[in-house]
Chains A and B, each alone.
Chain A
Amino acid sequence: MQFMLLFSRQGKLRLQKWYVAHPDKLKKKITRELITTILARKPKMSSFLEWKDVKVVYKRYASLYFCCAIEQKDNELLTLEIIHRYVELLDKYFGSVCELDIIFNFEKAYFILDELLLGGEIQETSKKNVLKAIAAQDLLQEEETPQGFFEDHGLG
């Protein structure tokens, strides 16, 4: 997988993860073009499209579009399911996830993604194991973090 983007129906980028190195300018350009292309597509159309030299797999969940760019030989249907698994994980973690959860707890969304995918490859497909790992992280944090640590540093 080359990168993953989450963006809203209004075209606002909510989360991005790149597994290949590009200069910032190029990243912005790719993001902008891809968002426009995908938003223009109708709901009945297929979830796959050939775009430049990559295959793009996307799916819409409520107001959010999840979009992955994969290699020519990667499996499209399974990429759809990676997206779905990710949504399930978010859903389970936040309890019926919505766009706002991702906006305000973006670091959690990243941590979950890091557990699911590493370096663009799927790391752990078991929902239970991922959630266990995240729960362990949270526990450690709570143990260590004095009350108001994030607030003090303006990170809350």
Chain B
Amino acid sequence: MEAVNLLSSNKYSEKQIGYLFISVLVNTNSDLIKLIIQSIKNDLSSRNPVHVSLALQCIANIGSKEMAEAFGHEIPKLLVSGDTMDVVKQSAALCLLRLFRTSQEIIPSGEWTSRIIHLLNDQHMGVVTAATSLIDALVKKNPEEYKGCISLAVSRLSRIVTASYTDLQDYTYYFVPAPWLSVKLLRLLQNYPPPEDPGVRGRLNECLETILNKAQEPPKSKKVQHSNAKNAVLFEAISLIIHNDTEPNLLVRACNQLGQFLSNRETNLRYLALESMCLLATSEFSHEAVKKHQEVVILSMKMEKDVSVRQQAVDLLYAMCDKSNAEEIVQEMLNYLETADYSIREEMVLKVAILAEKYATDYTWYVDVILNLIRIAGDYVSEEVWYRVIQIVINRDDVQGYAAKTVFEALQAPACHENMVKVGGYILGEFGNLIAGDQRSSPQVQFQLLHSKYHLCSPMTRALLLSTYIKFVNLFPEIKTQIQDVFKQHSNLRSADAELQQRASEYLQLSIIASTDVLATVLEEMPAFPERESSILAVLKKKKPGRVPENEIREGKSPGPTANHQTEQPPAPAPTTNNVSTDLLGLSTPPASQPSTTSTSNTGVLLDVFGDMYGGTGTPAQANNVNNLAPAQSTYNAKKFICKNNGVLFENDLIQIGVKSEFRQNLGRLGLFYGNKTSFALQNFMPSLSIPDELQGKVNLQVKPVEPVLEAGAQIQQMLNAECIEDYSDTPSMVISFLYNNVPQKLTIKLPLTINKFFEPTEMNGESFFARWKNLGGNQQRSQKIFKATQPMDTTATRTKLLGFGMQLLEGIDPNPDNFVCAGIVHTRTQQVGCLLRLEPNKQAQMYRLTVRSSKESVSQEVCELLADQF
């Protein structure tokens, strides 16, 4: 109360103390606030400018909602009134800004707008400076209304930059004319796209050029203040150039200027230059110019004394990376990682992992990089990173063999990081069979290698290894007893860790009781992961909100992401790690219905898939959404399923369809998993078979009906039994109809029931192979195709596909080691058709020649058609 009395005093010092007191000790005691507001009101209308200033400062210091309500209308009047003193105007502008920040509604509109904008023309530089801050905030709220400020700001700026330093008297700071105002004007202009009016635009570009020119002039003073102020304006000008992103000439000049700063003596300048270059790297005009400085940047990453500057260098390298320099940059970052500061290691690891994934043209390189990463900085490799490498290896058939081989080698190091053991365990468990042919990595050796690490690992890793072991039981029956011994070990069966105990005992029982068929089904290879945003990118974004350069060069020139990963999906908050961990731990779970984002493949890709599926035999499958509801948002993997049995067959925004299948002789069982991805139930859900006429009588299918309602987020399973009676081409389809939001939807999905599914692999030696080959020499029995490779010609990938195709891959038969030779028998109810195959890659021409010989012409043709599309 005493303080309020002081406020209404006429003595300046008493008033001042009163204001100081309430600025510090204000609370929302309503009675008092009313009195205070009344006193302030009196002072605002006082004729003594000093009193008005005190009142304004007080409002600005408190800046509460009540203040905003009480004075929101008074202050704009003060601001634009002709007889207000300059000092008061300055305070009024900033005071209004403060109130505007607390409560957006007080924004004066209509007639005030133009009067506020015209403050930019004020004689008094202090007023202009304060007003620019206010206008900047107002523009952010309502750009259209304040559009008029663009031309005023440009002309004001041009007057400043062309002024000599003596013109502005006290507003020149160490020979730099009005640096604060210049910077504010440049900031203001960054709220708008480049000016449309060519005159204004020309003038702005002139200003920017002048600023760049001035940077080249010799300094007028040796003082650091001079260079700081000058460069502050320069950096802000560069920001504006980057923001406008229309003047290639200016962008390149800016880049060169920053390049000079990179080797400047001042740490601050090097820091800022690196930071600005990060932005330049994202413009298509200057991306190339930035790349010229790559060496210097790498040097500063390595040599810089200050860790925050090194951090900027790393950011810049990340931003300037593209297909052409990815390998070099990633290599340099890996080298540096060994000695890098602990505080930036984790982030660097994420960045390396993202770059490697994004720009990998050759996925073997990617696998190498990530494994190196684990080797060098294992402690800093977060779970997401190694989850991701596993996802990618599983989704890409062509690297699986290589990955298995590489992790096997990496595991042989005497001391390897636990993360390496995890990746190794997982990959060998899935794809160990691909390298088991080699004596040096026989099942026995693989198992012992993994188990030698077992005792050094944490329970979580042990649990993972136990899963690997049970997978080995399926892959390599010959070491089953050894593995059972491990399960039986005291430390496992009676482990203090409940998870280990459970796994050991359940896996043990599974291996004892289950028949090989059941084992094979339960422990089948993991289905492909649905595509989604790289979980690593999400982590990086979370870690540094707003600081992850989007890393997509603006305006086209997209670095052509491979179909395998799509970044920058707008809504991607789904914490994918949970899904991943369930996938990893629950080995036999069917493809989980994912609430996460779907990958978008554009319509073009979708049509491609339809167009060439199954080599054009029969009518192409159609995924007709009756309602055309975003058909572009779906992925359809039918082609992949020729060479594999399990995975996600189809996925769009509404539904995900996964398949697990197994075949024996002429019989097959398919599990179809329908997952509802929406938050509504799908009504009248009905999958029904559609068998083309020419298949009638050739294939026999039985399905079990399913519930007509598919609840939100739920998944149902439908079993389907198939019997092949006679060989056929084309495949049966499933027509799935349902109501989503009462809108009927219809999907037609080809079932992965191609004739090759009924293959039984046949082992034979060279002699008998050639004997049969010659026997089947007639024109009626032969089918041959020569075609261009559509994917990189990778031996391991090809092997994996041929193995998946269902025939036996015969080693050491063809005199040319590059060629592949296979044999198998197609089982039908009526007959068995023996089939031989030879695939000859020609790497120079990027072509393949595929020859299929069988005892039945139609089989030869169909097998040839099916396989020719796969490479």
How far apart are the CA atoms of A155 and B16 in the complex, in Å?
Answer: 13
- The chain A residue with its CB closest to the CB of B86 is A129
The 8 Å CB contact of A119, one of B11, B94, B171, is: B94
Q: Tell me the B85-110 residues at the A interface (CB within 8 Å).
A: 87, 90-91, 94-95, 97-98, 101
Q: Report A138 CB to chain B, min CB distance, Å.
A: 10
Interface of B is mostly: helix
Chain B residues lying within 8 Å of A140, measured Cβ to Cβ, are 12-13, 50
Q: Are A118 and B60 in contact (CB under 8 A)?
A: yes
- Report if B225 contacts A (CB, 8 A): yes
The 8 Å CB contact of A81, one of B87, B125, B170, B173, is: B173
- The chain B residue with its CB closest to the CB of A50 is B308
- Report if B76 contacts A (CB, 8 A): no
Give how many A-B residue pairs fall within 8 Å (CB-CB): 139
**A122-B180, A124-B126 known; A46+B235 contact, CB < 8 A:** no
**A45-B267, A125-B126 known; A77+B272 contact, CB < 8 A:** yes
**A76-B268, A80-B228 known; A53+B129 contact, CB < 8 A:** no
Q: Are B171 and A126 in contact (CB under 8 A)?
A: yes
Q: Are A123 and B91 in contact (CB under 8 A)?
A: yes
Chain B residues lying within 8 Å of A141, measured Cβ to Cβ, are 12-13, 16
How far apart are the CA atoms of A125 and B170 in the complex, in Å?
Answer: 8
Q: Are A78 and B183 in contact (CB under 8 A)?
A: yes
**A45-B267, A48-B268, A84-B225 known; A77+B235 contact, CB < 8 A:** yes
How far apart are the CA atoms of A126 and B91 in the complex, in Å?
Answer: 15
Chain A residues lying within 8 Å of B16, measured Cβ to Cβ, are 137, 141
- Range class of the A interface residue count: 35 or more
Chain B residues lying within 8 Å of A72, measured Cβ to Cβ, are 546
- Range class of the B interface residue count: 35 or more
- Report if A144 contacts B (CB, 8 A): yes
What 1/0 mask marks residues of chain B from 1 to 35 whose CB sits below 8 Å from any chain A CB?
A: 00000000001111011001000000000000000
- Report if B815 contacts A (CB, 8 A): no
- Select the residue from A49, A84, A126 with max chain B CB neighbours within 10 A: A126
- Report if A94 contacts B (CB, 8 A): no
Chain B residues lying within 8 Å of A44, measured Cβ to Cβ, are 267, 305-306
Chain A residues lying within 8 Å of B308, measured Cβ to Cβ, are 45-46, 48-50
Chain B residues lying within 8 Å of A121, measured Cβ to Cβ, are 94, 97, 130, 133
Q: Report B348 CB to chain A, min CB distance, Å.
A: 15
Chain B residues lying within 8 Å of A73, measured Cβ to Cβ, are 187
- Report if B231 contacts A (CB, 8 A): yes
Chain A residues lying within 8 Å of B130, measured Cβ to Cβ, are 118, 121-124
- Report if A97 contacts B (CB, 8 A): no
- Report if B63 contacts A (CB, 8 A): yes
**A48-B268, A75-B235, A77-B268 known; A126+B12 contact, CB < 8 A:** no
What 1/0 mask marks residues of chain B from 152 to 193 whose CB sits below 8 Å from any chain A CB?
A: 000000000000000000110100001111010001000000
- The chain B residue with its CB closest to the CB of A119 is B98
**A44-B267, A46-B267, A46-B271 known; A125+B171 contact, CB < 8 A:** yes
- Report if A114 contacts B (CB, 8 A): yes
Q: Are B229 and A122 in contact (CB under 8 A)?
A: no
- Report if B545 contacts A (CB, 8 A): yes
Q: Report B18 CB to chain A, min CB distance, Å.
A: 13
Q: Report B497 CB to chain A, min CB distance, Å.
A: 38
What 1/0 mask marks residues of chain A from 98 to 110 whose CB sits below 8 Å from any chain B CB?
A: 0000000001000
- Report if B405 contacts A (CB, 8 A): no
Chain A residues lying within 8 Å of B231, measured Cβ to Cβ, are 77
Q: Report A17 CB to chain B, min CB distance, Å.
A: 9
Q: Are A53 and B545 in contact (CB under 8 A)?
A: yes
- Report if B677 contacts A (CB, 8 A): no
Give me the 10 closest cross-chain CB pairs, A-B, nearest first: A77-B232, A119-B98, A78-B232, A118-B94, A126-B170, A45-B306, A140-B12, A46-B267, A121-B133, A46-B271
A-B contact pairs, 20 of them (CB 8 A): A42-B305, A45-B306, A45-B308, A46-B268, A47-B268, A48-B268, A50-B308, A73-B187, A75-B236, A78-B183, A78-B228, A81-B179, A118-B60, A125-B126, A126-B125, A126-B170, A137-B50, A144-B11, A144-B12, A149-B13
Q: A50-B547, A77-B232, A120-B98 are in contact. List 20 more A-B contacts (CB 8 A).
A: A46-B309, A48-B268, A53-B545, A75-B183, A77-B229, A77-B231, A78-B179, A78-B228, A81-B179, A81-B228, A118-B95, A119-B60, A119-B97, A125-B171, A125-B173, A125-B178, A129-B126, A140-B13, A141-B12, A149-B13
Instruction: Spell out B's residues near A (CB within 8 Å).
Output: 11-14, 16-17, 20, 50, 57, 60-61, 63, 87, 90-91, 94-95, 97-98, 101, 125-126, 129-130, 133, 170-171, 173, 178-181, 183, 187, 225, 228-229, 231-232, 235-236, 267-268, 270-272, 305-306, 308-309, 311, 545-547
